[in-house]
Structure 1
Amino acid sequence: MDSKKLRRMLEDRLKQDKRIFSFDREKDELRIENAETKKGITLSLPGIVAKWNEQKEKAIDEVVYYVEEALAVMGKSHTLAKAEKKIFPVIRSASFPKEAAEGVPFFSDDHTAETRIYYALDLGHTYRLIDQQWIKKEKRSEDEIREVARFNLRSLSTDLKKDEVAGNVFYFLNTNDGYDASRLLNDQFLREMSEKVDGQMTVSVPHGDVLIIGDVRNETGYDILAQMTMSFFTNGRIPITALSFLYEDGKLEPIFIMAKNRIKK
């Protein structure tokens, strides 16, 4: 499978009246757009190719479902009124677009050198990112959106799966509710985990549907962590960062791990 073949497969599966496709050869991205509203979604093909190599048709089915749901949402109007309980923060890569294709800025906040915080209205099977125009239209304040989103985040489950490898312990949060990586913003949860960790605590958000907490107790643990996060990063539907974070005194610091050494970025 290569990008050219994948592009043809996706265009064939997603082809409908009033939909247009455009391909950015330099970025290797395919955009699917409603011809009337000009609203759409952009797919990075290399990540999907990597996922196809492992999951075959399942990877294509997942992308098609994701696109169809997203385009359906874009075709409807939504309101924040009486929907406060459905507003959540969403972690994305620092390189994620800061505005929609229409040029309207998303409502977002700085986070770390690797990540940025966006805000979304949950719509069940998907969600819609909140933009500045939407906030002004409904006469909401940014602080109100932030406060409500953080409060709702704390209500989400933090059940973890545990795995021990070479004397190191790794905890995985993977509920597939769309906000797994966003648990990174739950300060209370991270503080509680830090009390359970015997070694160095690390936090990783390689893609949007997973959060990994490491209890790294030896040098081998850093190698394991690096390989693990890279694997998740290349196979995730919404990649965030292949780097992990050290968690110390309530703060996150990105680290670059090479060989058996850990090097602060």
Structure 2
Amino acid sequence: MKMTSIKMKKMLEERLQHPDWNISYNRDKDTFRVEWKESGKGITITLPNVVSKYENRGERSLDDLVNHVQEALRIMNETHELTGKEQHIFPVIRATSFPTETKSGKQLVYSDHTAETRIYYAIDLGKSYQLIDQDMLEKEGWKKSRLKEISSFNVRSLPVDLKKDRVADNDFYFMASQDGYDASRILNESLLEEMKANSKGDLAVAVPHQDVLIFADVQNPMGYDILAQMTMKFFAEGRIPITSLAFMYEDKGLEPVFILAKNKPTE
């Protein structure tokens, strides 16, 4: 029997029952939403994408989806006491070739991320920001773990507005708000889990420079070639380039994709 959006909606309703969550269905958009009753924060699922994945991968795809939704909602509901300048602290993504100390010799605070990227931390000053060094941390009496926790919360609080583009039956999503933290949104685990839950194929992520984040729902081999060309182009044009490599998002981890773009874009 063919799977439909209505059948999928019923299956998800059964799997996502929780006393603190509201579930709703938008018939016009064919979307399914789960949100926290108290805060209204939640995740919206595009049902035709889920149906397509279910038809290709079966029950396991539904298990994966439910896990991603539950994890995204759990992360969304974490709260911290933020006072003073704590709410202005954000993580910034840089290439591993980026200096680890200032020109005056002060050690910058950073964390490992991937083989291609590192996470630094910054105080937002409005029109600019200052990278946090070890001396500042010690002066405040803070531990690095506190810095990581606060900055992670703050990056999840940033608005997300993705522009979608479909090319050769692959879906690409672009974040370019120009607020200085577009690439930093790759650290928003809730966003990654939501994108993974909604993807029809493999989910890839790219941060070619500071002011762009790209998601690719790769549904055929051509998608990898297009993503490679796209990432290289953004990398070459970026004011603060990060990496020309994209990453596959699987099991809450990012693995670099080594793609040779064999198919040149058609004019």
Normalising by structure 1, we get a TM-score of: 0.67
> 1:14: which partner in 2?
none
- Cα deviation, 1:174-206, whole Å, max 9, x if unaligned, reads 111100000111111100110110011000000
- Cα deviation, 1:32-52, whole Å, max 9, x if unaligned, reads xxxxxxxxxxxxxxxxxxxxx
- Cα deviation, 1:125-178, whole Å, max 9, x if unaligned, reads 110000001111122221111111111111001110000001100000111110
Root-mean-square deviation over aligned CA pairs: 1.5
Kindly provide the amino acid, as one letter, of the partner of residue 106 in structure 2: V
> 1:241: which partner in 2?
243
Kindly provide the amino acid, as one letter, of the partner of residue 201 in structure 2: G
Quote how far apart the aligned CAs of 1:259 are: 3.7
1:201 is paired with a residue of what secondary structure? strand
Identity across matched positions, percent = 58
Q: For the residues of structure 1 that align with 2:96 and 2:250, how far apart are their CA atoms?
A: 22
Match of 1:174 among 173, 176, 191: 176
1:157 is paired with a residue of what secondary structure? coil
2:257 is paired with a residue of what secondary structure? strand
Match of 1:133 among 132, 135, 138: 135
Paired residues for 1:156-195 under 5 Å: 156-195=158-197
Q: For the residues of structure 2 that align with 1:115 and 1:90, how far apart are their CA atoms?
A: 10
Paired residues for 1:15-26 under 5 Å: none
Match of 2:96 among 94, 97, 115: 94
Q: For the residues of structure 2 that align with 1:141 and 1:251, how far apart are their CA atoms?
A: 25
Q: Which runs of 5+ in 2 are unaligned?
A: 1-82
CA contact (8 A) 1:245 1:255 kept: yes
Cα 1:259–1:231 change in 2 (3 A) is closer
> 1:122: which partner in 2?
124
Give the aligned length. Answer: 182
Q: For the residues of structure 2 that align with 1:220 and 1:206, how far apart are their CA atoms?
A: 19
Kindly provide the amino acid, as one letter, of the partner of residue 188 in structure 1: S
> 2:113: which partner in 1?
111
Quote how far apart the aligned CAs of 1:115 are: 0.2
CA contact (8 A) 2:226 2:261 kept: no
CA contact (8 A) 2:210 2:240 kept: yes
Kindly provide the amino acid, as one letter, of the partner of residue 84 in structure 2: K
Kindly provide the amino acid, as one letter, of the partner of residue 82 in structure 1: G
CA contact (8 A) 1:104 1:133 kept: yes
Q: Which runs of 5+ in 1 are unaligned?
A: 1-80
